[in-house]
Chain A
Amino acid sequence: MKSISLYVDKESFIHDFDPITKLLYILFALFLPLILLSFTVSFISVGVSIVLLMAAGVIRKTIPVFSFVFLVLITVVIIQGLFRPENETILFQIGPLAMYKEGLLYALTITLRVMNIVSAFLILVLTTKPSDLVETLVRKGMSPRIGYVIVSVFQIIPEMMASMSTITDAQRARGMETEGKLSVRMKAFLPLLGPVILGALINTKERALALEVRGFNSHVPKTYLYEEKTHALSKWVQAILLLLLVGAGVWRIFG
């Protein structure tokens, strides 16, 4: 079955780390540049994330995500460089359009911030099985019912996609055209979407029944098939990340 998550099933020391450490790393990468307000720190942070992604062997999988982000970022650079209200200092001119230093610097801030968040997130997303992440969070106190909901989405979407292709066949069998002019395809929207939604809603009843008889609403404390995944170095890495953050905060306030 085709999966919608970006998780790459590989062996690497990054994969071995527990999801909590990776979540903490996201917070770290997010807040450190915000606290220190320095381009250099942002650069280093992005750099570190990219090195980690390479170490995990998943850097190729980041390309589609980054290319989408870059597409938007290019428009940010152009628009801010040209039109930012604070713009004063002209850097260069192309025909009637002037690029300003203030706007470009601001665009650079945004670019770094986005890159930073996206790359830190990608470490978590590409190297952690969604179900592992959810299970860890449930162990830390998240409602198992909500945990179920999140994990089941990863299975329900491919299931709905499969039923969508059967539905397409069924409606074509009734003479509905799915190819051709925009107006033809627009007319196909409801006959395709309708049965997908109705079918999925009708199935919720049977699925809810099946869950109920599997002790879904049991009040007994839950147990787990797998042992909790921890890494020998997890505690250390977490401690260092936290210390660095606190240190940066202290430096920022008193330094």
Chain B
Amino acid sequence: MNKIVVEGLKYKYPLSDTLALDDLSFQVKEGEFIGIIGKNSAGKSTLCQALVGLVPHFYKGAYGGKVFIDGLEVKNQTIADISLKVGMVFQNPFTQVTGSKMTVYEEIAFGLENIGIPRSEMIARIDYVLDLLKIEQVKDQNPFDLSGGQMQRMAIASIIAMKPDILVLDEPTSQLDPAGSEEVFQAIQSLSKQGITIILAEHKMEKVALYCHRVLLLDDGKMVDINTPGKIFSRGDLEQHGVAAPVYTRVCKELGVRKAGTSEFPVTLAEAESVLRGRKI
């Protein structure tokens, strides 16, 4: 079943002369894990925000085409209503803390209070997400006293507690150290395994290759391609679109080593190892 349907989506920010999104069309099935890649200002953040209705409702500007979430058209819904179906996590761990709650526990409750969840269910949901994101041990701390990785997991927990079917993440680990980003990627992966549809904009291609079912390549607001990581990263024109393939793919491309029986190059460490093993190096 298609969870997200995008048809001819166009968008222009106020004050801008150029289209940030230019005629995008694609579908996402329930439970899929989609990576969005592209150089800076290719439109990744804008696309993420178009899926949760921040584009156009927050920014205004000029909008064309349609985005459907579970059959509901984003343009005709309020952000609050869409947020019950699609959750979003942003880049900066600090600015997405509400700044009005004294503990992690209360911070997670913020969204639930807003959407009118009864107390007993609220508590059950918070306990569940604290466990899911492994931040139980910091639940009574001030949100601003957490490490970056913990803060991002708190942000994800706050969103997941609202029980969306779809989670959109805009470069959630770009400001974290390797340990922190590993924590976050593992959390995202476990959510994906639970059947939540995941949309992830990301610069770390090795991670995209490892986790995503399909990858959407953007350039200058246009969709270049949407396909499996193997197909996308095997494209010959990636560099022209401002993207470098995972290091494992680059090495295999140089050596001209493809995955057995396909025209694709390996994209992960394990794939590269298996095709290169036994070669005389």
Q: In the complex, is A directly touching B at CB under 8 Å?
A: yes
A residues in contact (CB < 8 Å) with B:
1, 131, 144, 148, 151-152, 155-156, 159, 203, 206-225, 227
| Pair B109/A216 contact, Cβ less than 8 Å | no
| Pair B144/A225 contact, Cβ less than 8 Å | no
| Pair B90/A206 contact, Cβ less than 8 Å | yes
B106 beta carbon closer than 8 Å to chain A: yes
| Pair B100/A223 contact, Cβ less than 8 Å | no
| Pair A206/B92 contact, Cβ less than 8 Å | yes
| Cross-interface CB contact of B100 among A131, A206, A209, cutoff 8 Å | A131
When A152-B99, A209-B90 are in contact, do A217 and B113 touch as well, CB less than 8 Å? no
Residues in B whose Cβ lies below 8 Å from that of A222: 113-114, 116
A63 to B90: give the CA distance in the assembly, Å: 45
Which of B75-83, B190-198, B233-241 makes up part of the contact surface? B75-83
B200 beta carbon closer than 8 Å to chain A: no
| Cross-interface CB contact of B116 among A131, A209, A220, cutoff 8 Å | A220
| Pair A212/B79 contact, Cβ less than 8 Å | yes
Shortest Cβ distance from A156 into B: residue: B99
| Cross-interface CB contact of A215 among B54, B118, B162, cutoff 8 Å | B162
Residues in B whose Cβ lies below 8 Å from that of A224: 113, 119
Interface band, chain B: 35 or more
Residues in B whose Cβ lies below 8 Å from that of A227: 119
| Pair A211/B98 contact, Cβ less than 8 Å | yes
A207 to B58: give the CA distance in the assembly, Å: 12
Residues in A whose Cβ lies below 8 Å from that of B102: 131
Residues in B whose Cβ lies below 8 Å from that of A209: 49, 54, 58, 88, 90, 96
Interface centre among A203, A213, A216 (most CB of B within 10 A): A213
**Hey, what's the 0/1 contact readout for B204-219 against A, CB within 8 Å counting as 1?**
0000000000000000
| Pair A214/B116 contact, Cβ less than 8 Å | no
B225 beta carbon closer than 8 Å to chain A: no
| Pair B95/A203 contact, Cβ less than 8 Å | yes
| Cross-interface CB contact of A210 among B98, B101, B142, B162, cutoff 8 Å | B98
| Pair B122/A225 contact, Cβ less than 8 Å | yes
| Pair A223/B58 contact, Cβ less than 8 Å | no
A227 to B113: give the CA distance in the assembly, Å: 12
Within the complex, the shortest CB–CB distance from B109 to chain A, in Å, comes to: 4
Ordered nearest first, which 4 A-B pairs have the shortest CB separation? A210-B96, A215-B114, A206-B95, A220-B116
| Cross-interface CB contact of B87 among A155, A206, A213, A223, cutoff 8 Å | A213
| Cross-interface CB contact of B95 among A152, A207, A217, cutoff 8 Å | A207
Within the complex, the shortest CB–CB distance from B158 to chain A, in Å, comes to: 7
| Pair B95/A215 contact, Cβ less than 8 Å | no
A42 to B13: give the CA distance in the assembly, Å: 61
| Pair B122/A214 contact, Cβ less than 8 Å | no
Residues in B whose Cβ lies below 8 Å from that of A156: 99
| Pair A223/B117 contact, Cβ less than 8 Å | yes
Shortest Cβ distance from B52 into A: residue: A213
Residues in B whose Cβ lies below 8 Å from that of A216: 80, 114
| Cross-interface CB contact of A159 among B54, B79, B144, cutoff 8 Å | B144
Residues in B whose Cβ lies below 8 Å from that of A159: 94, 99, 144
A221 to B97: give the CA distance in the assembly, Å: 22
B64 beta carbon closer than 8 Å to chain A: no
A220 to B115: give the CA distance in the assembly, Å: 6
A227 to B119: give the CA distance in the assembly, Å: 8
| Pair B114/A212 contact, Cβ less than 8 Å | no
**Hey, what's the 0/1 contact readout for B142-186 against A, CB within 8 Å counting as 1?**
101100000000010011001000000000000000000000000
B110 beta carbon closer than 8 Å to chain A: yes
| Pair A152/B98 contact, Cβ less than 8 Å | yes
B245 beta carbon closer than 8 Å to chain A: no
| Pair B115/A218 contact, Cβ less than 8 Å | yes
Q: Given A155-B100, A223-B116, output 10 extra A-B contacts at Cβ < 8 Å.
A: A207-B96, A212-B54, A214-B98, A215-B83, A215-B115, A216-B114, A217-B79, A223-B112, A225-B109, A225-B122
| Pair A151/B100 contact, Cβ less than 8 Å | yes
| Pair A221/B99 contact, Cβ less than 8 Å | no
A71 to B119: give the CA distance in the assembly, Å: 49
Shortest Cβ distance from B117 into A: residue: A223
Residues in B whose Cβ lies below 8 Å from that of A217: 78-80
A242 to B61: give the CA distance in the assembly, Å: 54
A159 to B142: give the CA distance in the assembly, Å: 13
A155 to B100: give the CA distance in the assembly, Å: 7
